[in-house]
Structure 1
Amino acid sequence: MKKWESHFQLGDTLTQEQLDFFDEHGVIVFRNFLTKEKVDTYISELKRLEKQWLEEKREKVNGIPLKFGKDEQGNLTIQRLCFSSLYSDPLHHLLEEPRLKALTALLQPYEGRIAENEKDGLVINNYINTPNSTFTQMGWHTDSPRDLFLGQKIMPMLNVGIHLDTCPFENGGLRVLPGTHKQNVLKLLFGKKYFIDNNDDDREVGFDLYSGDLSVHDGRLWHRVKQSPKFGEESRRRVMYVPIVTGKYMPKNEKSKTPFYHRFTGKVHH
């Protein structure tokens, strides 16, 4: 397993070098996307939303289940919040940021858009490794079978991760198999056992990601989240995921049904 050393700066438009790099590898990292002040704002919004939703005993947002765990003291926490920008002005304004819109160019020749009220909206993952936590890692997967479950053809999409905590390579976190966004459908569906396989792979790369960095990977790329070897606060990884999608506009609302694949993903996250 190797550490990924390439990184870039994100401006209001992408350079040809950045477009070519992403086309080849299916993954790209931009340093210092957020200032320290912005990171602090979004962390406080995460805490506010978590508190509010726990008090409301909310279990789903727009049909998508929240994922719950326990902290070191045994208190209930929300480990995956979805559609969070619909409940937060600062997070909503973040999604209007021109540099985020610039990333849609990575989907050319398709028209890309930021999916604020589609898929699961702006997701905030709040991983912490404690003896009680249920959501500390995620096995190998691509994001494409969702399209098949929904009866659509597989469309390219981008998973944009905005990293609120520093997560060095040694501390687990995002792992990808570069270039696999160009694999055939059979490899896409059967290359690995979805979510169950957590094994290291000779081809995989991991990252040093710093608080405020932004990563982008193609949804067709094989990727996973490796468990942290640390416990407690040292292991905390808060990442906001912005989906950038193409194809038919499919907004969700409070009456949206829970997609059936969510019924079994709960069983496979350790």
Structure 2
Amino acid sequence: MSNTYVKFNLGSTITTEQQEFFNQNGFIHFKNFIKKETVDDIIQASRQVEQEWIANQRVKVNGIPVKYGKDLNGEAIVQRFAFINQHHSLFSELPRDPRFETLLNLIGPGARLGTEEKDGMVLNHYVNGPESKFTQMGWHTDGLRDIFHGQKLNPMLNVGIHLSTLKPENGGLRVLPGTHKQGIYQMLFRKKYFLDNKADANEIAIIPEAGDLTIHDGRLWHRVAQSSVVGEESRRRVIYLPIIAGRYEPKHENSPTAFYQRFAGLVK
């Protein structure tokens, strides 16, 4: 496939064309999932949660480390919120949108939104400044955690709700189409997990507008490219929420921190 791809509109069902595109490539992009006003409300709500977490010096949420960094003015910010849906009503209401039920059909029977599992609803806040701790993320698959936990690889999709309008120079999500069909060896060893940030000749740049929604298969190799611009223009926010199947495994405040999450410092 070329470095451009088809963007779709989400209706009341997943069309045959949409299902075939997703099956072949392992990702899909829907335009205008939420309105600009809703995007603004979400960003404002995230600032409220951020202020509370900083004031309370919150270190973990349900065993998942909170990732802090510095904003362009040197002030502390939260750069990765896990389970943010449990900390503000707007985020808890968002997954109740009936269109998420439509998205579950990409996996099929038994699929559910993982609002209480894995990392819950995650909000990532990237900004490329002199003191930022979160500007990129190396190549990885989301299915690795199941292997770390000694589990079989259950179906998992990652739903992204994009809160920023990006240009290619803003960095952001890069995917390797079709790699969701790879065998377990390629899933483990195709790239050096999180350490390899190099562009791949076959990668596709996901270039969303604020309010767009993307989905990628948990087995798909992907990375988050660093912005080539700095300062306010580099700021981008995105929400991720898993669609999962298999055994129900909710997290709680006493959940342990997984072994691989102790290496969060590798993820810049």
Letter in 2 for 1:71: D
Q: Is 2:179 aligned against 1:216?
A: no
Instruction: Answer whether contact 1:3 1:169 (CA < 8 A) is retained.
Output: no
Instruction: Answer whether contact 2:84 2:121 (CA < 8 A) is retained.
Output: yes
**Structure-2 separation of matches of 1:2 and 1:18:** 17
Deviations 1:197-243 (CA, angstroms, capped at 9, x unpaired): 01111110102210000010001000000000111210011000011
**Structure-2 separation of matches of 1:60 and 1:70:** 18
- 1:198 equivalent in structure 2: 197
Letter in 2 for 1:268: L
- 2:267 equivalent in structure 1: 269
Q: Is 2:71 aligned against 1:71?
A: yes
Deviations 1:130-153 (CA, angstroms, capped at 9, x unpaired): 011111000000011100111101
Deviations 1:13-65 (CA, angstroms, capped at 9, x unpaired): 21111111100100100000010111111111111100111111101111100
**How does 1:1-270 map onto structure 2 within 5 Å?**
3-108=3-108, 110-264=109-263, 266-270=264-268
**Structure-2 separation of matches of 1:39 and 1:182:** 34
Deviation at 1:170, TM superposition (A): 2.6
Tell me the secondary structure at the aligned position of residue 232 of structure 2: strand
Please, which moves more after superposition, 8-17 or 212-221? Answer: 8-17
Tell me the secondary structure at the aligned position of residue 94 of structure 1: helix
Deviation at 1:2, TM superposition (A): 5.8
Deviation at 1:8, TM superposition (A): 0.3
Letter in 1 for 2:194: F
**Structure-2 separation of matches of 1:2 and 1:237:** 25
Instruction: Answer whether contact 1:2 1:204 (CA < 8 A) is retained.
Output: no
**Structure-2 separation of matches of 1:72 and 1:153:** 42
Letter in 2 for 1:32: N
For structure 2, the residue ranges without an aligned partner over 5 or more in a row are none
Instruction: Answer whether contact 1:142 1:221 (CA < 8 A) is retained.
Output: yes
**Structure-2 separation of matches of 1:122 and 1:208:** 21
**Structure-1 separation of matches of 2:51 and 2:41:** 15
**Structure-2 separation of matches of 1:201 and 1:243:** 25
Deviation at 1:259, TM superposition (A): 0.9
Tell me the secondary structure at the aligned position of residue 257 of structure 1: coil
Structure 1 stretches of 4+ with a deviation exceeding 4 A read none
Instruction: Answer whether contact 1:159 1:219 (CA < 8 A) is retained.
Output: yes
Given the two structures, how large is their TM-score scaled by the length of structure 2? 0.97
Instruction: Answer whether contact 2:169 2:229 (CA < 8 A) is retained.
Output: no
**Structure-2 separation of matches of 1:63 and 1:71:** 25
Deviation at 1:186, TM superposition (A): 0.2
**Structure-1 separation of matches of 2:97 and 2:157:** 16
Deviations 1:73-98 (CA, angstroms, capped at 9, x unpaired): 11111100010111111111110111
Identity of aligned residues (%): 51
**Structure-2 separation of matches of 1:269 and 1:159:** 18
